[in-house]
Structure formats: structure tokens, C-alpha cells
Structure 1
Amino acid sequence: MSIDQAVNIGLPVNLSPTTPPAPLPSGARLLKGERNWWFLGPGGVARLRDRHVTPEGGLLPDAEQRLHETGMFGAGRIRSYSLTVLTSTHCNLGCGYCFQNTAQDQLGGSRPPRIAQTRLTSDTITDILGFTERQMAEVGLEKLRILLFGGEPLLNPRGCLELLERAAEIAPTSAWMISNATLLTPSLARRLADLGLNAVQVTFDGDKPDHDRIRIGRADGGATFDKIVGNIAKASEDTSIKWTLRVNVSQETFHGVDSLVDRLAGALDPARCTLYFARIGDVGVGYENSLLHTGELPAAFSRWQRRALDLGFHVGRPGAHQTCATCGHTDGRYGAVVSADGTLASCWETAGKPDWEVGTVADGYLPGEETRDKWIGCQDLYRYDEDARTLARFRDSVDTALLDYLQETGRL
């Protein structure tokens, strides 16, 4: 059940407060809202009342039984193999926080040292698709979902197009891309869309003045905001591509996010865009972000989300903690991350990094005892100045406020 189908769970009122709480399923969350409780499970979201929850914040058994009966405890079946391919490990921007950097630019410019440059070739595509066919057959998956990744994937447009065209020969294929959009012409957008690309994620580093100081051209340090927005607008005229606009939040961008949301609403079609906000951290490359997940940050995230919704943007709905199909299984069962030279990594954050390879598409994954210390999941490498409880409280606070607002405004 999706978040847009959040339901009121009808339960009897004569539940004993002394009944032991039922355990939550793996990944499920139980959040206290202003007027009710929110259960976020693998199968969707449900509204609960105080009578369904113990004083300590656990589920009463009858509530657990009803949630189970309505499918809230059941995770959806994985239907597609998730393949991430770096078409180029090079990038035309010089962002200091990028997890593919190896250090900061010691001269303070726009050229931080990066992972080695490699470029996807036809021969490597052949190996990747052969590997993918074998992996899909092993788990019985018949559909393929490709992420075009980099570096900047559009530094190798031929590789992107060839990969999508040839992938369609082995399985029904859809695709999305993470790109800085500086190289996305209307013609290229049409060709990619014709081959199954239906979504693109693009990052903004705060409002235009901050973005043009942070997210800059690697060669010349030039501004990029207007170019990116213009390319998204032009591609939207010629294709049905949907856009996820990631807003990086740091001490350098925090003060401009409110105006950024309004600016984007004036320049783009909010109905085609999902906005999400992410506090960026350091993955060991020396990037510093002094903004913490405490203080005014939770309220600011909630304010930005409400404003985005009111302007017509989509906002990602809160949910249970889900296992990533790509990096959540140490044998790469349901997905893989492949660098441009055909080496396998466990997730995006280690792709292309020396000594983090977990195999190759030609030979498959290395034995588990060899990859155990190299298999990391999403966000595992990020370093914060706060402990896990603080991060969890931040997410719970923001997610609860969003669910309350969605209910209040009739969006659930």
C-alpha cells in the first residue's frame, strides 16, 4: 500500500494497556504525530490512535494483527534487477564534497583530485550485459532498471545511448540518470527518452548565488545555475522525463533554500518535479559542514517541504527503513554497481575507488571472505559530528511533521 493510500486502522477500543507490545517488523517505524500515531511499515503507512499503542510507544497485539491483515507488514516483491553503470568516471564540475574526490583542491579552486578517469566502451557493455543476464536468470527477474551514473554520465553520451539500446535486447528496460544536466541538450534528452529514460536526478547547491559559488565548472570555475535550469526546462518541452531535484544543505547553502524553492517553481513545472533536501556530509575527502541535525534544522526541513508542496512540487513520502536492492545484499543478488572499466563495487560511494572492488563483470563477484570488509551500504562512509540517535531523531521529526501536514491538507 502506498503512502498516498494511508489508511485508518479500525480496531476495538477495549485493548488492555498491560498487554505486552508486539514487535515491529524489520525496518518499520512508529511515530507520534500531533493528532495520532503513524505506522510506517514495509507495506505502507497507517494512522493509529493512542488506544492502539502502549504507553512506551509499542504496538498492542490487536493493532499488530490488524496491520498484518491489511498488508502493512509485507514488503513488495522485487520485480526488476537494479543495474547502476558509470558511463564515465570523469566530471566537468569541481564540487568539493563529491565522494569521488580523493582530497580537497589544495589551491582552493575548482579542481579537487578525483578517482581515475575511465570511459565505458562497447566491449565493456558486452561484458556488463552478459553479467546482467546471468544475474537476472539466477534470481528469476525479467525486467531491468538501469541507472546511468558517473562522474558525469553525459560526458559519454554514446556510451549511455548504446547501453540502453543494447540492454533492451536482453530484457524490458527502463532507466533513470543522475546528472548535473549541464550537458543535457533537447536532442540528447529525446534520444535517451526514446530508449527508456524516464527520470533524471539533478542537484542544486542552494539558491543561485550559493550554487554558482559551489557547483562550478571544473575547467573554468564558471557558474552553472542558469544553464542547468534552462536545460531542464528545454528537455521538459520535448520529453515526458520527470525530475528529482536534490537540494544540498550545508552551512553554505542553508540561508538560501527558501528562495531557491520559489525560484525553481517560477522556472520549472512543479508538477514534473520532486523536491528533496539532503544535509551533505564528508566521506573522508576533507569536506567540512558545520551544520548539525539539531537546532533549527528539523523545522527548516519541514518548512521547505511544506512550501514545496504548496507550490505544486512532489515531495518524497516517508516510509519504513528499506533494504537497498543494490547494496543491501552482499552477493549482489538484486542489483549491481559497475564502473566504466567493468569492475564491480558494492554501492555508488565506492565505485571507481582503488582497493574497493568486489569483482568484475567478466569474472563475477569475488568470494564473500574477500569482499566482506569492502561491502558497504548507502551512507556507510559518511561522517557526521553526531551519533546515530541524533540522526534518527532528526529524520523522525521531519517525517512526522510531513505526514501531519499531508493529512492536514488532504493529500493522504
Structure 2
Amino acid sequence: MSLDQVTRTGGERLLRGERNWWFLGAGGIARLGSRHLTADGALLPETERWLDEKGLFAASPVRSYSLTVLTSTHCNLGCGYCFQNTAQDPAGGGRPPRIARSRLTSKTITSVLDFTRRQMAAADLERLRILLFGGEPLLNPRGCLELLERAADIGQTSAWMISNATLLTPRLARQLTELGLDSVQVTFDGDRPDHDRIRTGRADGGGTFDTIIGNIVGASEAAPVRWTLRVNVSQENIHGIDSLIDRLAAALDPARCTLYFARVGDVGIGYANDLRTGELSAAFVRWQRRALGLGFTVTRPGARRPCTTCGHSGGRYGAVVSADGTLSSCWETAGKSDWEVGTVADGYVSGTKADDRWIACEDLYRYDEGARAIAEFRDTVDTALLDHLDETGRL
């Protein structure tokens, strides 16, 4: 689908499948036939009215404030592509320089919760969803637990965590889920040999694959956690992704796991990914179908929608707070002193400075290809997934 075939500016997408067209709107997905479109592939007025009546243009209202808190800016791994690195390791190892160290304290938690209460009141929201983030959040388990426990007083209804899982114990998993944690996102960098070469311990340079798998298994036995397994794809690991999917299915419970595949981007710190979208679409389609066949969930495509956290200026529906109480617009700039947009004590700054520093998801990522090539890649992969979900009765 060409970009000019979207008939509205709200992020709707129109994709041509093998047997039909797919409309992806803020309110859901619809299967369309050729009779619903003009000869050049645009929605007919009566089709647009029908989709509107069905609510497919209408986004669900925001119901929860989305608060991201870095409980620690330090990390025990040394991944070379991390957007919190400030450069590559000059020695060529697994210790790239990072953002400054900071650790969430009880005093800062008080300020964070006071700030969040004010933000929720301004947005007329009574529910709160917290993301425990880092660095590695579990380098400060006490901060994670205290934040969740105290947030219950201002309306926390759920929480999730992005973690490398190397420090996740069954006991800690139980404690976190008792305080509202329902899911954890963990990254794999290809199959075991590639992962253990890329995703290494910062202190000893050792591999982490078996530790992560063992900790996910132990935590799953101890607590009702759901898992999102992010699979990073680069020239360093692409040939091992097929075997990784099989290995994960053998070791974990696919029914509790969602897989998604992500091309590693360049954030300007000297780590380049040579893979181009033209080489990747067939592989992404194959991996998604293999994952579904093994019982994993694969994230469904959707309309282009602004991120709740960074897609609205001034932290209207969400905020990113570093461990020292400074505010950033997005996860990708958290902990970076030249990207701060305020503090929890004083709120968001305004004016040109704030506008210049307001970054949304992946704004900092650099690719050798233009926006059209990247959009076509996404459309190709998403169309194939929708076709497959429909053919197999999963849609």
C-alpha cells in the first residue's frame, strides 16, 4: 500500500492482502473487498461511513495514567546497541560507557507519587499503570517493591517491567505480582551462541542465555507472570532466529508468552545494523508463523497511534521519571542530562527548550533507508500476518 492510500490522518492503514483488503483503524480491524474501494485503492465514501458507524475510526479513551520509573540507571549487562550507552566500549569488549548512575530512593518515591497524583488529577484519571524500567530495574529490588506498594494509595491498578531477567528470582517474582505486576518483557539476541556473544555480563563478559531461561521458568512456576519476549534482529544473529524460536518453545510455556521481532536500530553511538528491510520481510513472516504454530502469541498489527507516554506533550497521559526524579519525554532519553524536560518537584518545563527536547518513540533511531522503505516493510509483514491469522481462524 502506498502512503497516500490512507484516507484519514488519524493513523488508519489500508493493506492489500492476498484475498482481500484490511482496514486497520483506532477502533479495530475490518476485512474489506474490492467493492469497498475505488479503482485506485481508496475507501469509497459509503465504506468510510460504514467503518465510522462501526466505531473503527474511534480510539478508545485513555483510562489509566502510564508512569515509567527507572529504579536504577545502572545495568549489569553490556549490550553494544543500548540507547543508554554514550559510546562503544573503546576496548572492544562488553563495557560501553553509559548514562550516569542513579538509584531510586524512598524520598524520591514520595516526590514521584506526589507528581503522579497531580498529573492524574489534571487528566481526570483514577487508574495508574506503572512500568518498572532501568538500566536494569532489579538492581534495585527494594525500590521496585516500595514504589508498587506505595502507589496503591494513589490508584495503581497494574504494573509491568522491562528486565533482562538475570536477577529475577521466584521469591521476587511472587513479591512483585502480589503488588500488581502482571507481565515482564525480556530480550533475546538470537539463539544461545549469538545471544551469549552479544548480551553479556558487564562484570565478567559471560553469557546470559541459560540464566535468563532458568529464571523465567522459575518465576513462571512461582507467580502468574505473562512474558513478552522481544527478539532483536541484526546482522549478528539473523541466522539463529529460527532455532531460537524452537528453543524457546521447548523451554518455556508458549501459552504465557508473546513474541515480537525487532530490527536493532542505530542511535548514533557507533553501533550499525547492516540489515535492510528488503532482506527481512520474508524472514519476519516466517518467524511469526513459526511462533504461532508453536503456540506463542504474536502481537497483532494495528493503526498508527501516538504512544500514551511520549505521544502527548507535557506528560498529559504518562510520564518517564529517572531514578533521581528528572523527567524525560520518552524511555529513549531517560537518564540523559541533555534531554531532561523537567523534574517531579517542579513539573515540566515549557517553551522552546521543552519542545526541542520532546522525543517520541524511535525518533532518535537512524536507518540507511527512507521512511517509505520502512513503511513498506512494515506493511508487507503486517499484511502477511493478518492473512495468516485469518486463514488459520485466529483473527
Higher helix share: 2
Distance 1:272 1:387 in 2: 36
Q: What do residues 44-70 of structure 1 show as CA deviations (whole Å, max 9, x unaligned)?
A: 000000010112221000100110011
1:24 CA displacement: 2.5
SS across alignment from 1:294:
helix
Q: What do residues 201-253 of structure 1 show as CA deviations (whole Å, max 9, x unaligned)?
A: 00000000000000000000001000000100110011111000000000011
**Corresponding residue for 1:237?**
221
1:172 CA displacement: 3.4
Whether the 8 Å contact between 1:308 and 1:315 is mirrored in structure 2 is yes
**Corresponding residue for 1:385?**
368
**Corresponding residue for 1:14?**
none
Whether the 8 Å contact between 1:22 and 1:60 is mirrored in structure 2 is no
Alignment partner of 1:107 out of 76, 79, 91: 91
Q: What do residues 225-284 of structure 1 show as CA deviations (whole Å, max 9, x unaligned)?
A: 000001001100111110000000000110000000000000000000000000011111
**Corresponding residue for 1:355?**
338
**Corresponding residue for 2:283?**
300
**Corresponding residue for 1:47?**
31
Q: What do residues 63-115 of structure 1 show as CA deviations (whole Å, max 9, x unaligned)?
A: 00110011101000100000000000000000000000000001111100000
Distance 2:227 2:41 in 1: 37
2:307 is equivalent to residue 324 of structure 1: yes
1:254-403 alignment, distance < 5 Å: 254-295=238-279, 297-403=280-386
1:25 CA displacement: 4.7
Q: Which amino acid aligns with 1:263?
A: R
1:351 CA displacement: 0.5
Alignment partner of 2:173 out of 182, 185, 189: 189
Q: Which amino acid aligns with 2:321?
A: V
Q: Which amino acid aligns with 1:350?
A: T
Q: Percent identity?
A: 73
TM-score by length of 1: 0.94
**Corresponding residue for 2:11?**
27
TM-score by length of 2: 0.98
1:288 CA displacement: 1.3
Whether the 8 Å contact between 1:345 and 1:356 is mirrored in structure 2 is yes
1:378 CA displacement: 0.1
**Aligned alpha-carbon RMSD (Å):** 0.9
**Corresponding residue for 2:52?**
68
Whether the 8 Å contact between 1:87 and 1:159 is mirrored in structure 2 is yes
Q: What do residues 330-379 of structure 1 show as CA deviations (whole Å, max 9, x unaligned)?
A: 11100000000000000001000121100000000001332011001000
Q: Structure 1: which 5+ residue stretches go unaligned?
A: 1-20
Q: Structure 2: which 5+ residue stretches go unaligned?
A: none
Distance 1:50 1:337 in 2: 44
1:153 CA displacement: 0.2
Distance 2:349 2:255 in 1: 44
Distance 1:28 1:328 in 2: 16
- Bigger mean CA deviation after superposition, 51-60 or 191-200: 51-60
SS across alignment from 1:232:
helix
2:208 is equivalent to residue 224 of structure 1: yes
SS across alignment from 2:339:
coil
4+ runs deviating over 4 angstroms: none
**Corresponding residue for 2:134?**
150
Alignment partner of 1:133 out of 104, 114, 117: 117
Whether the 8 Å contact between 1:25 and 1:41 is mirrored in structure 2 is no
2:155 is equivalent to residue 171 of structure 1: yes
**Corresponding residue for 1:16?**
none
Distance 2:388 2:41 in 1: 22
Alignment partner of 1:36 out of 14, 17, 20: 20
SS across alignment from 1:46:
strand
Q: What do residues 104-163 of structure 1 show as CA deviations (whole Å, max 9, x unaligned)?
A: 001111100000000000000000000000000011000000000000000000000000
Whether the 8 Å contact between 1:83 and 1:335 is mirrored in structure 2 is yes
Whether the 8 Å contact between 2:6 and 2:12 is mirrored in structure 1 is no
